[in-house]
Structure 1
Amino acid sequence: MTINLELPEKLTTRGEALHAFAENAFRPISRKYDRQEHDKPVELDQFAELVAANRNSASGEKSDKPKKDGTVNGANMVGVLTAIEMAWGDVGLMLALPGRGLGNAAIDAVANEEQLKEYGSVYAAMAITEPGFGSDSAAVSTTATKDGDDYIINGEKIFVTDGSRCSHIVVWATLDKSQGRAAIKSFVVPRDAEGVTVVRLEHKLGIKASDTAAIRFEDVRVPATALLGSPEIDTKKSFSGVMQTFDNTRPAVAGMAVGVARAALEELRKALEEAGVEIDYDTPINNQTGAAAEFLRLEADYEASYLLALRAAWMADNKQPNSTEASMSKAKAGRTVTDVTTRAVELLGSLGYSEDLLVEKWARDSKILDIFEGTQQIQNLIIARRILGKPSSELK
């Protein structure tokens, strides 16, 4: 059976437009905001409406026409392809683009129709990580206490992307610590709500154009309607509701990694060709130079990462359970982008290590793509549990 891996013309056209945007809006200021951490990229304000229009077009269409087999390419596929092109330009600037943050994926994944009307167009950050834990999302200690028709939220979150620039924050909190994972819910909290304090902005290895904040929540009162999904504590379902968010965001993060990896491979190919290194796809790699063989290895990993990201997004668009595939795409792409960018720096020698090119920046930026939304180790653990059919209590 022949498998067609080409994208529909509509998605290809959109990708070309986004690529041009990234090339003309991101690349010229990429180094500037890498050096000026915490400065707001004001140049992006004028482009925000263009991106919003593209996003509204994508969401308005919902999906391509169903194919003969009934399948579609919808918002998740568009999201991954957007992430690839924008991250190719600059992943930090992509995350700093006004109007939409990682919290919006949680709203899209879990919110009911009324909540989508209220929160669908806000600029939402995601607040999960706390000082006491990293990738173990089940260890949330921030509390949400019912008080009449409201909830009162107390706790502290760290590494909140867009934390100082967003309009709202999707906060993960527990309704009852004694109930474990099942009591963890997500709440939409206005950043300017009383009791919300941006404690500090982090200094980071990479993605410096993106603000990353530590935020404290002290007796923050939100209406009960701010709780995304069901308020019921269902121990049988654990916290699958809030975890649905990751099924949407992990393929998008994989897309970011694919975009950065492609940028590095393009720069590496150009330098190798200028140095007289021939990359021959018709000759076995053991008969080629070491540099050419290494490039082909890296490119193969890049292609695999790209296809895994598309697969996970396609499954989400077609309402197929994709938790395993989402983690596979995130794990593979995160591992690949760090390998590609690090090897590109090494193969380019002094040129790769200097600021003459953006390759050393991409190497620094790439590390976060292997960490946030769940580290490499967490993804491998999730994949193993799914494949072996083991619960978290048996496979840790």
Structure 2
Amino acid sequence: MAISLELPKKFAMNIDQARQAALEVFRPISRKYDLAEHAYPVELDTLAALYDGLSAAGQAGAGAAGGRADAEKKRPEGVVVNGGNMQSIINSLEASYGDVGLMLSLPFQGLGNAAIAAVATDEQLERLGKVWASMAITEPSFGSDSAAVTATATLDGDEYVINGEKIFVTAGSRADHIVVWASVDRSLGRAAIKSFVVPREHPGVTVVRLEEKLGIRASDTAVIRFEDCRIPAGNLLGSPEVDVKKGFGGVMQTFDNTRPMVAAMAVGVGRAALEELRRILEENGIEIDYDRPAIDQHAAAAEFIRLESDWEASYLLTMRAAWMADNKQPNSLEASMSKAKAGRTVNDVTNKAVELASTVGYSERILLEKWAR
């Protein structure tokens, strides 16, 4: 199947909307909420309502749920599609170009919504598709090894009883629901790990604390404890059956959706830093000439070209992962690569941009140091 990473013309309005929000809504309040950690960005409510209205009218796809709907549409054999997953990637990229913390704080666009879109049944989509959901995976005893989940969900009649503690829950104190990863039978290993939708204001759910962070301060990051938290059995996303041979592919499908979205956040921040760095270099008489070898240019210009080429690679990997999802191709490897590449690249780009900008890069006069953090 041929692959096309050209941005479709049908997304032009969507891109314009997201970029306008980034520059006119996010950027002007970016520093304000970086300095006022844990203060809720009330300016986002109006934007969220606008996105919701446009999405309902079929004119915007800011949420991740659209990816599943587009991917499941029947189409002739061999026809390629740029659909809901790519649209979500574009939205994440453009919004993060404005401010990644504010993007993560946008109501109804939580990472948990991507989990619901990935594995929920049609009935669950109808019932839970409109909630604002954070996602609770990481625990004090593990980070990226999702198979090491120790939280448990024990079936008791027609309810599951959830116990455990989750850390680094993005929007954990703001979202109205939480998608919790827990094991229904720890003796069966990773195959028994399932995801559950839990209302945040529910008996047995406690937001223990909000973290004080180096960066992404506009977005709250919570520690949440679940103690004998009882939820309806129907809140287990997808099938309750434990298939040892299949493993936990169902919940891992969530990562196939969210990893490219996280990569897109990094790509958006990286582009913002590169544009600001280019402006500073040109203001200081340093020309970036693509027709000359980098070795024959100013050292700062040569470094910029290196950073930009790495950024381009991370962008293309991210778009490829989204394109594959839209075309029903397994993208676990590409989704993981895009997140790893974009994450390393944005760290390199933003830190080097601060260094090359010198004193102004380390100051709060511009946003370079914030993007690096």
Note whether the superposition's TM-score is higher than 0.5: yes
| CA shift for structure 1 position 249 | 0.4
Q: Which runs of 4+ in 1 moved over 6 A?
A: 63-68
Structure 1 residue 182, shift from structure 2 partner: 0.7
Cα pair distance change 1:171/1:65, threshold 3 Å? closer
Q: TM-score, normalised by structure 2?
A: 0.94
- Quick one: distance in 1 between partners of 2:101 and 2:95? 10
Q: What does residue 32 of structure 2 align with? A: 32
Shift in Å, 1:13: 2.5
Structure 2 residue corresponding to 1:289, chosen from 292, 298, 301: 298
Displacement of 1:4 in angstroms is 5.8
Q: Deviations over 1:80-125 (max 9, x none)?
A: 0001100000000000111221101110000110111111110000
| CA-CA distance at 1:68 after TM superposition | 9.3
2:249 to 227, 240, 244: 240
Supply the distance in 1 between the matched residues of 2:77 and 2:222 (Cα, whole angstroms).
47
Per the TM alignment, residue 73 of structure 1 is displaced from its structure 2 partner at its CA by: 1.0
Q: CA deviation digits over 1:54-81, x for unaligned, max 9?
A: 4442339837996994011111100100
Cα distance change of structure 1 residues 173 and 68 upon mapping to structure 2, 3 Å threshold: closer
Instruction: Find the aligned partners of 1:299 and 1:68 in 2 and give their Cα distance.
Output: 37
Q: Within 2, Cα distance between the matches of 1:310 and 1:246?
A: 15
Aligned to 1:99: 108
Q: Residue 244 of structure 2 aligns to a residue in which SS?
A: coil
Structure 1 length as normaliser, TM-score? Answer: 0.89
1:49 — aligned with what? 49
Post-superposition CA distance 1:367-394 (Å, at most 9, x none): xxxxxxxxxxxxxxxxxxxxxxxxxxxx
Partner of 1:370: none
Tell me, yes or no, if the aligned pair for 1:264 and 1:340 is still in contact at 8 Å: yes
Q: Aligned residues: percent identity?
A: 66
**In the alignment, what sits opposite 2:318?**
309
**Given the alignment, which residue of 61, 64, 70 partners 1:62?**
70
Which of 80, 89, 109 aligns to 1:80? It is 89
Matched, 1:356 2:336: no
Who is 1:319 aligned against? Answer: 328
For 2:49, the aligned partner's letter is E
Task: Assess if the C-alpha contact under 8 Å between 1:142 and 1:156 holds in 2.
Answer: yes
> Using a 3 Å threshold, how does the CA distance of structure 1 residues 106 and 281 change in structure 2: closer, same or farther?
same
Structure 1 CA distance, aligned partners of 2:40 and 2:319? 32
**Which moved further from structure 2: 17-26 or 261-270?**
17-26
Aligned-pair Cα RMSD in Å: 1.8
- Number of residue-to-residue matches in the alignment: 363
Deviation at 1:131, TM superposition (A): 1.1
1:328 to 337, 352, 357: 337
Q: 1:54 to 1:265 in 2, by over 3 A?
A: farther
For 1:212-227, what aligned pairs fall within 5 Å after superposition? 212-227=221-236
Cα distance, 1:231 vs structure 2: 1.1
- Three-state SS of the structure 1 residue aligned to 2:330 is coil
Q: Residue type matched to 1:160 in 2? A: V
Partner in structure 2 of residue 185 of structure 1 = 194
Aligned to 2:8: 8
Structure-1 residue corresponding to 2:124: 115
Partner Cα separation in structure 2 for residue 90 and residue 228 of structure 1:
31
Q: 1:234 and 1:357, CA in 2 relative to 1: closer, same or farther beyond 3 A?
A: same
CA, structure 1 residues 5+132, in 2 after alignment: closer, same or farther (shift >3 Å)? closer
Give 2:25's aligned amino acid: A
